[in-house]
Structure formats: C-alpha cells, structure tokens
Structure 1
Amino acid sequence: MDESAQLLDEKILTFMDQLELLEEKRARLNTLIEQGWFFISKARYSMGNKQVSALQYASEIKPQVSLHVRTLAHDNVEFSSESPKYNSECHNTNAPVEVIGPQEEGIRRRIKPTKGSGEMEAVEELSHKKSHEDLPASKTEENPQQNPLHWFGILVPQSLKQAQMSFKQVIELSAEIATLQVQILNTRQELMRRFQEKDERKKKKGDLRGC
C-alpha cells in the first residue's frame, strides 16, 4: 500500500508539471501569433494593403514544412516539423554557377610556328573541348521550394521577415504542444486507472473486515 501510494503521488506530480508546461507553451504560442500578425500589419502599412495580401500568392503553392509523427512507448506520440529545404540550398557554395554568354567550342593557344606546333595545337584544342564538355549546363533547374517572401517583391521590409520567423516558430511550437497533449492524456488515463485500483483495494479490505 505504501509503495502504490508513493507511485500515485509521483504520477500526480508529473501530471501537474505537464499541465504547467502546457500552459507556458500555449501562452508562448499566443504571443508568437500576435507578434506575427502585428509584423504583417507593419508591412502592410509600409508597403500598402494591396502589396501584402492573397493577391501576391503564387499560382502553385507547395508546402514548405512537413509534419512527422512517431509512435513512442506507453502509447505516446511525438510530432516534429521539418524545416524547408531552400534555406540550405540558398547558402550552398558548391552549387553550379550559371554560365552566361556565348561559349566557344574550343580555345586555341597561339604560339609561334615551330616544328611540331601543329600537333601541340591539336592536342590543346582536344583537351579544351573535353574540359568544356565536363562543365555543368548553363541553365540550372529551378528550385521547386522558393522563399514565400519573394512573392511580395525582392526587397521586402524587415517586418515581413519577422512575421515569417514568428509563424515558423508557431509551427514548431504547435508540434511540441501536440506531443505534450498526448502525454497529458496518457498520464490522466494512468491516474484514473490507479485511482480505480486503489478504490477496489479499499472495498476488498472493507469486505474482509466485515467477514
């Protein structure tokens, strides 16, 4: 009885800690949403209402964030969000550089005509042709996942960027809240089960005393 009562007390303390953490995360979520809409209002004030609206959305919109669900032990579920890929691609310094302008088939090196110069010129021309064939294509494939800020122009105000960062944090925090809510529901069910077992033990103990 003492051991079961101690486990029940620990479970209640865990349940209270989870509720307190959930309240903090929900307050943080509301704050981020308010900040995001406030920064959007500032961007509309500086750029104009018609410049920051649904009219600037792309014709084809693809999701920038994907949500992953993973099942854990004790019926717990973990939600996680994956960041967009264009951030890493934009800062990739090893990406192929687009070649602009007409390109010659081969580059010849002008040297003084000497004996065997024709053979040397032919070898150099062949090597330059081979190296030119190894160059990347002049037109690179367009990144399918673009920054949504570019819908509203190239030079957008800082307030619009801050709004994007706020709503990105909202998505990440929403996944954390969903994970915590599942944990709270499982803890609540565990508490109810332990309370029922405690009541049943009390009834059995009372029946034995009556006999």
Structure 2
Amino acid sequence: MCNANEDLDKICETLDKLTLDALYLMQEEIDLKLNIENAMSGGEAHLAKSRYILGLTNVSALQLPTENSPEFSAGLKVEVDEALLGRNVYNLREIKKTEDENVQEPLRWFGILVPQNLNFAQKMFRQALQWSVQAVNVQNQLRSVLQSISNLKEVKTKNASS
C-alpha cells in the first residue's frame, strides 16, 4: 500500500511540474503573439508612410510581381527539423543569392532609391515572420506537454482506483 502512495505522489508531483510548464508556455505564446501583432501593425504604419512619401502609384499592388513576371524564389524559407519525441521544430533559413540566382530583393520592386520607412517595414515584417515560427514551435511544445498531462491523469486515476 505504501508503494502505491509513493507512486501516486510521484505522479502528482510530475503533474504539478507539467502544469507549471504548460502555464509558462502559454505565457510565452501570448507574448509572441503580442509581438507579432505589434510588428505587423508597425510594418503597416511604415508601409503607409512610404506610400505617402513616394505617392499612391509608387507603393501599390502594381509594383508586385504578376503571372507574367520572371520567376523568382523566396528570400526566406521555413525548414522542418525532426526533434525530440518526434515533434517537429521549425526554423527560418535565409536563401543567399549565391545559392539561388532567382532570389530577388522585394524592395527593388519599388525602385532603386526607396524611403527608409520601406526598409523599416521590411525589417518589421521579417521579425513578425521569425516570431510566427517561434510561436508555432511553442504551440507544438505546449501540445506535447498537454498530452503528457492527459496521459498522467489517466495513470493517476487507474492507480487511485486500484
């Protein structure tokens, strides 16, 4: 009987630790989502300032590539790495022009001399992308911790009833 109580105590202690981990991960996810929101709104504000400086026709959808545009590749790509316990970890990798000659600098779509606000907007949108990848990784960790909590609760109820 004493051994069953010790097992139950260990399970409860592990559940407490996992619950705290889940709370920390939830807080981290909330912080990342707030950072993403702030970066996106800041990037949009800098984009609006650029549009004001250059004019409505110089910063618009007309400068974006169309179906008739030459082929190009993305400057950043998300890569998937198999990590602990079969959980995927996502990373951003910057594609250098030497690796892929089709990589274009999106700022060049708006001319050669672009306002500094357009550079700031690009940096903020890139930061939002990095935080988005981090948020996905935190969500995966949280999902794993919640699954562990659920499994331990089942074990606890089986041990408590026997």
TM-score in terms of structure 2 length: 0.86
Of 1, 5, 10, which residue of structure 2 is paired with 1:3? 10
In structure 1, C-alpha distance between the alignment counterparts of 2:105 and 2:43, rounded to whole Å: 17
> CA RMSD for the aligned pairs?
1.6
The answer on whether the counterparts of 1:68 and 1:79 sit within 8 Å (CA) in structure 2 is yes
1:146 shift after superposition = 2.4
Secondary structure of the corresponding residue to residue 79 of structure 1: strand
Of 81, 89, 109, which residue of structure 2 is paired with 1:70? 81
Of 100, 106, 123, which residue of structure 2 is paired with 1:165? 123
Matched, 1:17 2:24: yes
Letter in 2 for 1:76: R
Of 69, 73, 92, which residue of structure 2 is paired with 1:81? 92
Aligned pairs (5 A) from 1:34-49? 34-49=41-56
Letter in 2 for 1:74: L
Superposed CA deviations along residues 135-187 of structure 1, whole A, max 9, x for unmatched, are: xxxxxxxx432211111111100000000001111111111111111111111
Gaps of 5+ in 2: 1-7
Letter in 2 for 1:26: K
Letter in 1 for 2:18: K
Letter in 1 for 2:30: E
1:3 shift after superposition = 1.7
The answer on whether the counterparts of 2:79 and 2:91 sit within 8 Å (CA) in structure 1 is yes
In structure 2, C-alpha distance between the alignment counterparts of 1:55 and 1:186, rounded to whole Å: 44
Partner of 1:94: none
Of 50, 59, 62, which residue of structure 2 is paired with 1:55? 62
Partner of 1:201: 159
Superposed CA deviations along residues 99-148 of structure 1, whole A, max 9, x for unmatched, are: xxxxxxxxxxxxxxxxxxxxxxxxxxxxxxxxxxxxxxxxxxxx432211
Aligned pairs (5 A) from 1:27-176? 27-58=34-65, 59-60=69-70, 61-86=72-97, 143-176=101-134
In structure 2, C-alpha distance between the alignment counterparts of 1:40 and 1:66, rounded to whole Å: 23
Secondary structure of the corresponding residue to residue 52 of structure 2: helix
Superposed CA deviations along residues 75-105 of structure 1, whole A, max 9, x for unmatched, are: 321000112414xx6xxxxxxxxxxxxxxxx
Secondary structure of the corresponding residue to residue 57 of structure 2: helix
The answer on whether the counterparts of 1:36 and 1:163 sit within 8 Å (CA) in structure 2 is yes
Gaps of 5+ in 1: 90-142, 205-211
1:44 shift after superposition = 0.5
Q: Which moved more, 1:67-76 or 1:56-65?
A: 56-65
In structure 1, C-alpha distance between the alignment counterparts of 2:50 and 2:125, rounded to whole Å: 15
State, as a whole percentage, how many aligned pairs show the same letter. 26
TM-score in terms of structure 1 length: 0.67
The answer on whether the counterparts of 2:73 and 2:104 sit within 8 Å (CA) in structure 1 is no
